[in-house]
Chain A
């Protein structure tokens, strides 16, 4: 049983499972009441200052649209600026997670941002990823799933990423005048990935209905915002999952999203993903059932669902079962070592290890099982990178101290010995960071 666990071990567990691991001082701070420390993060906090000053998506979208129209040098300059902004945003996001006092909330932001992925697979998304996350995801991590789903699916970044900005109802005013029409992409992925899940019981007709419902949702490029254009909206009633969605133009999308959020398949889908992320690659079915029930009982109140999660025994089962993704590993390394790392190095680390934020390979987001991240080359690369990192900062970070402050009781005698016997500070640090204990969360 969990209760017999040493308090120090429980603190490391809480920090790793629900955060990005321990930095200097974290274990001491959390040790007295690890569960309370997790619980206390289930109330909203003010927006971190670094994000309060962050430029939103609207000015960026309108600037890019203007530059595209101007063509030539202006467009090239805008592209260069977009790449620079992307890298700067990644550095901001990564540092924020590494230094946050509420790392559980940062984990939730990143989890949901991945659930409702937008990706640089469409290069135009690069300078919008962080703004999207700040605007559509972060405000809702402890709010309702429905509000988050509405904000994410109808955010201009999502409308661009999954092509809805160009989709036109075939029988709409615009559709009849031009040789343009429907694009199913967002309609399908909203059902399959965001809401019901692939086994959620929908059919091709529902995909089309959802796509038709979403027609009209496009961009106001001048303002850089999402805009509902009734001239592009497919007129008439739609049938979604056997339910009538009466013609109501701008209101249809929200009505459909609400209907889908209330569907039990959505509760199950979300529960499954949360359990896989926070508990185990193949979580005990009872945990999924409990989370789904909590989701249904609370109408998708995410504070309620998260409270259920952190009170599950399985969430505290040891040893830590999940492998850190490259993104989590880089953040955990920064947090544990507490050294300054230049923006470029930080971004390059994520790129080299294969997980640039907002660059997931598909609308399904980054995968979430060990097998997805532990290819032989991927593991060698973590080791190679750890050593390169150790060579840069090893003189400033004592690896033996890091074992105490970051891993505590999870550092076993074998690891302590290996670190103590390492021939150089660089190698000592690289061994600590590469160790099986540090690779898990």
Chain B
């Protein structure tokens, strides 16, 4: 199934061709590192995922949503004597043991209101006010290799704001539709050659569709498991030395206003899907795992206390995870503000102590080797005063 690749190499639409670079050498990529950003849309409950079970106020503020102590049935999986992982993340607890998992607690973007949509906007743009139209990860891509061409991949039909911007990126999701012939795509390219939106999108899509076909064989949707087909194929694309280096994946289902649950319910179910996705990625990326970092972020945390309907409402600080062979794991970072009444943000939320941009800057510097001056100038121009977290990756 080389149609689309062949097309890339032979299409007459030279203006379009410049927009895509589906196959590249290591030299052109500028890095052998892989970065996967998993964005949890809807606001993951940080206290439910990385549980501060030893905080003296934990049980009283969490009430019916409190999880049992380590060692008890349905209990959290101890990390460092202070925090424990939700049992639905048990596979990631093994990664912790291998020092391949790191958590940053009480982390938040600079945004302090509680709108999902503005908060996601800022998480994606890396700015301080909503309305910017390029994502920080696209601006980071521009600093890599040959201006980032061919390095960015959105896992899904569309491209999330975090990866949008001047650098063309690809997107891919499993599809049961048959692939048109090379000849037909050539005709389409002719129609799109002067279109400022459709032209570049087509070219970016073709390179990756080909790559996916090469790996995916005849594997098509298996009922309800699209997510895992996506993760597996993505992992293989990212493992390809000539493939993309930076990918984004969005997971929904975190807005747990109702029925959040402890060991069963909406949160454990979403956490289980997250863990399963990460395990699938790892299995498909074994050959490059040591060069891989998965960052898991969400727009904000949720209220400390349960609401009136067995869930939690929109909060402020939450938790972020770094995982992968490249991560200097086995640590929970971030100053813990405690759950004491007088330490809460506005009396209801975990108080933020780490700026999300400190983590993201630390990843760009430590994992991708990006100079601090470039990060400050191009990627997080509003965050110069925010100090990057050091030593996030293995030396």
The chain A residues found within 8 Å of chain B, CB to CB, are 121, 162-163, 166-168, 170, 175, 179-185, 188, 192-193, 198, 204, 207, 323, 352, 354, 361-362, 364, 370-381, 383-385, 387-388, 414-415, 418, 422-423, 427, 430-431, 434-436, 439
By the criterion CB–CB under 8 Å, are A183 and B201 in contact? no
Query: Which residue from B41, B114, B191, B201 sits with its C-beta under 8 Å from A204?
Result: B114
Closest A residue to B348 by beta carbon equals A204
- Taking A385-B177, A388-B178 as contacts, is the C-beta distance between A183 and B157 under 8 angstroms? no
Task: Name 20 interchain pairs, CB-CB below 8 A, sorted by A.
Answer: A183-B308, A184-B257, A188-B313, A198-B113, A198-B117, A204-B114, A204-B346, A362-B116, A362-B255, A364-B117, A370-B197, A375-B205, A377-B170, A381-B177, A383-B180, A384-B178, A414-B190, A418-B187, A436-B192, A436-B195
The chain B residues found within 8 Å of chain A, CB to CB, are 41-42, 64, 113-118, 130, 133, 154, 156-159, 161, 164, 169-173, 175-180, 183-185, 187-188, 190-192, 195, 197-198, 201-206, 208-209, 252, 255, 257-258, 307-309, 311, 313-314, 346
Known pairs A168-B308, A198-B130, A431-B188 / 9 extra A-B pairs, C-beta < 8 Å: A354-B157, A376-B154, A378-B171, A380-B202, A381-B175, A414-B190, A422-B187, A430-B184, A436-B198
> Which residues does chain B contribute within 8 Å of A434, judged by CB atoms?
188, 191
Shortest C-beta distance, B119 to chain A (Å), equals 10
CA distance A373 to B188 in the complex (A): 18
- Taking A377-B171, A431-B188 as contacts, is the C-beta distance between A166 and B309 under 8 angstroms? yes
> Which residues does chain A contribute within 8 Å of B157, judged by CB atoms?
354, 375, 377-378, 381
CA distance A378 to B173 in the complex (A): 9
Closest A residue to B163 by beta carbon equals A375
Query: Which residue from B176, B179, B190 sits with its C-beta under 8 Å from A418?
Result: B190
Interface pairs A-B: 4 shortest CB-CB: A181-B308, A376-B205, A375-B158, A384-B177
Shortest C-beta distance, B315 to chain A (Å), equals 11
CA distance A267 to B99 in the complex (A): 54
- Taking A375-B159, A380-B209, A385-B177 as contacts, is the C-beta distance between A414 and B313 under 8 angstroms? no
By the criterion CB–CB under 8 Å, are B208 and A377 in contact? yes
Closest B residue to A170 by beta carbon equals B308
> Which residues does chain A contribute within 8 Å of B180, judged by CB atoms?
383-384, 387, 430
CA distance A12 to B330 in the complex (A): 62
> Which residues does chain A contribute within 8 Å of B205, judged by CB atoms?
375-377, 379-380
Closest B residue to A175 by beta carbon equals B308
Closest B residue to A178 by beta carbon equals B308
> Which residues does chain B contribute within 8 Å of A385, judged by CB atoms?
177
By the criterion CB–CB under 8 Å, are B184 and A180 in contact? no
Query: Which residue from B159, B201, B307 sits with its C-beta under 8 Å from A182?
Result: B307
* Interface residue SS majority, chain B: loop
By the criterion CB–CB under 8 Å, are B184 and A376 in contact? no
By the criterion CB–CB under 8 Å, are B308 and A182 in contact? yes
By the criterion CB–CB under 8 Å, are A354 and B314 in contact? no
By the criterion CB–CB under 8 Å, are A183 and B311 in contact? yes
By the criterion CB–CB under 8 Å, are B177 and A352 in contact? yes
By the criterion CB–CB under 8 Å, are A439 and B175 in contact? no
Closest B residue to A378 by beta carbon equals B157
> Which residues does chain A contribute within 8 Å of B313, judged by CB atoms?
183-185, 188
By the criterion CB–CB under 8 Å, are B115 and A198 in contact? yes
By the criterion CB–CB under 8 Å, are B164 and A371 in contact? yes
By the criterion CB–CB under 8 Å, are A379 and B159 in contact? no
Shortest C-beta distance, A262 to chain B (Å), equals 22
Query: Which residue from A323, A375, A435 sits with its C-beta under 8 Å from B154?
Result: A375
Shortest C-beta distance, B4 to chain A (Å), equals 9
Query: Which residue from A121, A192, A418 sits with its C-beta under 8 Å from B115?
Result: A192
By the criterion CB–CB under 8 Å, are B202 and A198 in contact? no
- Taking A374-B201, A376-B170, A377-B208 as contacts, is the C-beta distance between A414 and B191 under 8 angstroms? yes
> Which residues does chain B contribute within 8 Å of A436, judged by CB atoms?
191-192, 195, 198
Closest A residue to B154 by beta carbon equals A375
> Which residues does chain B contribute within 8 Å of A167, judged by CB atoms?
308-309
> Which residues does chain B contribute within 8 Å of A163, judged by CB atoms?
257-258, 309, 311
CA distance A175 to B188 in the complex (A): 62
> Which residues does chain B contribute within 8 Å of A376, judged by CB atoms?
154, 159, 169-172, 201-206, 208
Shortest C-beta distance, B164 to chain A (Å), equals 6
> Which residues does chain B contribute within 8 Å of A378, judged by CB atoms?
157-158, 171, 201
- Residue from B164, B184, B190 whose CB has the most chain A CB atoms within 10 Å: B184
By the criterion CB–CB under 8 Å, are B307 and A184 in contact? yes
Shortest C-beta distance, B124 to chain A (Å), equals 12
> Which residues does chain A contribute within 8 Å of B133, judged by CB atoms?
371
Closest A residue to B168 by beta carbon equals A376
Shortest C-beta distance, A176 to chain B (Å), equals 12
CA distance A181 to B176 in the complex (A): 46
By the criterion CB–CB under 8 Å, are B41 and A362 in contact? yes
Closest A residue to B63 by beta carbon equals A179
CA distance A185 to B208 in the complex (A): 39
> Which residues does chain A contribute within 8 Å of B252, judged by CB atoms?
121, 361
CA distance A432 to B186 in the complex (A): 14
CA distance A342 to B190 in the complex (A): 32
> Which residues does chain B contribute within 8 Å of A387, judged by CB atoms?
178, 180, 184
> Which residues does chain A contribute within 8 Å of B175, judged by CB atoms?
352, 377, 381, 384
By the criterion CB–CB under 8 Å, are B187 and A188 in contact? no
Closest A residue to B170 by beta carbon equals A376
Closest A residue to B174 by beta carbon equals A377
By the criterion CB–CB under 8 Å, are B209 and A188 in contact? no
Shortest C-beta distance, A23 to chain B (Å), equals 22
> Which residues does chain A contribute within 8 Å of B130, judged by CB atoms?
198
By the criterion CB–CB under 8 Å, are A375 and B171 in contact? yes
CA distance A381 to B178 in the complex (A): 10
> Which residues does chain B contribute within 8 Å of A179, judged by CB atoms?
64
- Residue from B41, B115, B172 whose CB has the most chain A CB atoms within 10 Å: B115
CA distance A436 to B199 in the complex (A): 9
> Which residues does chain B contribute within 8 Å of A180, judged by CB atoms?
308-309
Shortest C-beta distance, A260 to chain B (Å), equals 16
Closest A residue to B155 by beta carbon equals A377
> Which residues does chain B contribute within 8 Å of A388, judged by CB atoms?
177-178
Closest B residue to A207 by beta carbon equals B114
By the criterion CB–CB under 8 Å, are A181 and B307 in contact? yes
- Residue from A378, A418, A439 whose CB has the most chain B CB atoms within 10 Å: A378
> Which residues does chain A contribute within 8 Å of B117, judged by CB atoms?
192-193, 198, 362, 364
CA distance A378 to B170 in the complex (A): 10
By the criterion CB–CB under 8 Å, are A415 and B118 in contact? no
CA distance A245 to B314 in the complex (A): 24
CA distance A370 to B156 in the complex (A): 16
- Taking A198-B130, A362-B42, A434-B188 as contacts, is the C-beta distance between A377 and B257 under 8 angstroms? no
Shortest C-beta distance, A177 to chain B (Å), equals 13
